[in-house]
């Protein structure tokens, strides 16, 4: 059992039936030597009492932003910054929305906005609230800012429904806390390059050729590599995502721009090409907006775009030790990906099915197959963040091995 001796946790308990589980979390954290202070929201106090939290934490519980006594003894700024880690459990849909929007209308949200420390959230809510696009968008925003999450799980709920939304069990939340403090810096001293999102290829000053890539998987890979200590550069096409924390971000539009900025980022140890780069561009984009007429639509002459993945794999002395591509396929996923790996000259291909029924493009989950010279490694369906973490761990293990172990 890992010790948390000397670690200081600020626990924020928001409203939800799962709040009762936080009492067990506090007990377990204290057994491991952690000091725990708690902020209890008005909603949270409907399910657990300040007295129960205070008894288990052996520390005063804070509830009121405007209490002069609280401000005199422990101001909200000091409270938010004296912890080594802020844990939000349960993290209701409401508090996640407030965190994403930067609201500060009570002590909990004010402390979250004022903190300069990492935050770990354990979401808990009704299954329909969990799957609502607003909640998923809020989570994407928070993860891009570096907020860590644990859970939720699938199961029966107090409301009588069944599905995703159950808060992770106390021991799982504690394990996530322990993982955070067990710093994994296997990629410290390494340099990583990641591409993400679509590219926009101009037709005229208004219109362009693009695709449905959201950039979520590429951004998640950049975050995961940075968390393992890599000095990470993300070259991204236009997306609606926030820039990942701790990553150098370069914004581009076209495939030509992406290749130029990727080459400028060399040398790197690993390049992960997740971007859905347009295969073609208009040969001669119009300088003015093309007007709609009664005649036939304009005929667009296309030409091939530069191949970013193949160019990095053939970069000579500047070639990264590990070059990884993504293959977004709608049929014959593994067969097409194997052919792509051979054609591009990269070390690995991460293949996924992006046919409309999968919801992969624009969605939050992914099912991938990692193809290298040793064969195919198929992973179960998981979130894009989980895919990124598992891929980054595989990268770290590979880079730690001798270069002769099958990696160029």
Q: Is 346 part of the annotated catalytic residue set?
A: no
Residue spans of beta strands (DSSP E) within 34-100: 35-40, 61-62, 85-91
pLDDT of residue 68: 44
Share of the chain above pLDDT 90, in %: 64
Q: Which CATH superfamily is domain 191-400 in?
A: CoaB-like (3.40.50.10300)
Crossing angle of the two packed helices 21-31 and 170-181, in degrees rounded to 10: 40
CATH 2.20.25.10 for domain 8-181, yes or no, is no
Q: What is d(CA 377, CA 357) in angstroms, rounded to the nearest whole number?
A: 23
Q: What is the mean pLDDT of residues 139-166?
A: 83
Structural tokens at position 56: 């288990």
- Does position 407 have pLDDT exceeding 90, yes or no? no
Using one digit for the tens of pLDDT, what is the confidence trace for 250-264?
A: 999 999 999 999 999
Q: What is d(CA 72, CA 62) in angstroms, rounded to the nearest whole number?
A: 13
Using one digit for the tens of pLDDT, what is the confidence trace for 189-235?
A: 999 999 999 999 999 999 999 998 989 999 999 999 998 999 999 99
The model carries a pTM of: 0.69
Using one digit for the tens of pLDDT, what is the confidence trace for 279-330?
A: 999 999 999 998 887 677 888 999 999 999 999 999 999 999 999 999 988 7
Question: 8-181 with 191-400: one CATH topology?
Answer: yes
End-to-end CA distance of the chain: 40
Q: Where are the domains of the chain?
A: 8-181, 191-400
Q: What is d(CA 185, CA 95) in angstroms, rounded to the nearest whole number?
A: 31
Q: Poorest-confidence range of 56-65, 89-98, 158-167, 258-267?
A: 158-167
Q: What angle do CA 381, 245, 26 make, to 5 degrees?
A: 70
Q: What is the mean pLDDT of residues 262-276?
A: 97
Q: Poorest-confidence range of 97-106, 153-162, 249-258?
A: 153-162
Structural tokens at position 156: 């029966």
- The confidence band for 332, taking pLDDT boundaries of 50, 70 and 90, is confident
């Amino acid at each position: 059992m890992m010790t948390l001796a000397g670690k200081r946790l600020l626990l924020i308990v928001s409203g939800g039936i799962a709040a009762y589980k936080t009492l067990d979390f506090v007990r377990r954290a204290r057994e491991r030597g952690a000091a725990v202070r708690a902020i209890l929201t008005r909603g949270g106090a409907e399910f657990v009492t300040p007295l129960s939290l205070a008894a288990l934490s052996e520390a005063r519980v804070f509830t009121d932003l405007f209490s002069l006594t609280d401000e005199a003894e422990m101001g909200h700024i000091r409270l938010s910054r004296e912890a080594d880690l802020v844990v939000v459990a349960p993290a209701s849909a409401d508090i996640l929305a407030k965190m994403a929007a930067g609201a500060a209308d009570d002590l909990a949200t004010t402390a979250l906005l004022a903190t300069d420390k990492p935050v770990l959230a354990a979401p808990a809510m009704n299954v329909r609230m969990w799957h609502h696009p607003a909640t998923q968008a809020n989570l994407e925003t928070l993860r891009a800012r570096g907020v860590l999450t644990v859970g939720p799980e699938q199961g029966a709920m107090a409301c009588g429904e069944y599905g995703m939304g159950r808060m992770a069990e106390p021991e799982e939340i504690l394990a996530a806390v322990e993982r955070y403090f067990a710093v994994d810096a296997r990629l410290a001293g390494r340099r990583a390059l990641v591409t993400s999102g679509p590219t926009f290829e101009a037709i005229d000053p208004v219109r362009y050729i693009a695709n449905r890539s959201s950039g979520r998987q590429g951004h998640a890979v950049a975050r995961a590599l940075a968390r393992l200590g890599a000095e990470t550069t993300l070259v991204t096409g236009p997306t609606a995502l926030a820039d990942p924390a701790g990553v150098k971000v370069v914004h581009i539009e076209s495939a030509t721009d992406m290749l130029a900025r990727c080459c400028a980022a060399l040398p790197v140890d690993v390049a992960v090409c997740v971007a859905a780069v347009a295969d073609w561009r208009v040969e001669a984009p119009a300088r003015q907006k093309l007007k709609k007429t009664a005649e036939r639509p304009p005929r667009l002459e296309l030409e091939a775009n530069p191949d970013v993945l193949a160019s990095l794999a053939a970069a000579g002395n500047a070639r990264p030790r590990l070059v990884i591509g993504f293959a977004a396929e709608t049929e014959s996923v593994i067969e097409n990906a194997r052919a792509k790996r051979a054609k591009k000259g990269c070390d690995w291909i991460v293949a996924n099915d992006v046919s409309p029924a999968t919801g992969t493009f624009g969605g939050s989950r992914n099912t991938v197959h990692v193809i290298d010279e040793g064969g195919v490694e198929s992973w179960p369906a998981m979130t894009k963040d989980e895919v990124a973490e598992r891929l980054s761990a595989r990268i770290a293990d590979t880079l730690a091995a001798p270069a002769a172990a099958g990696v160029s």
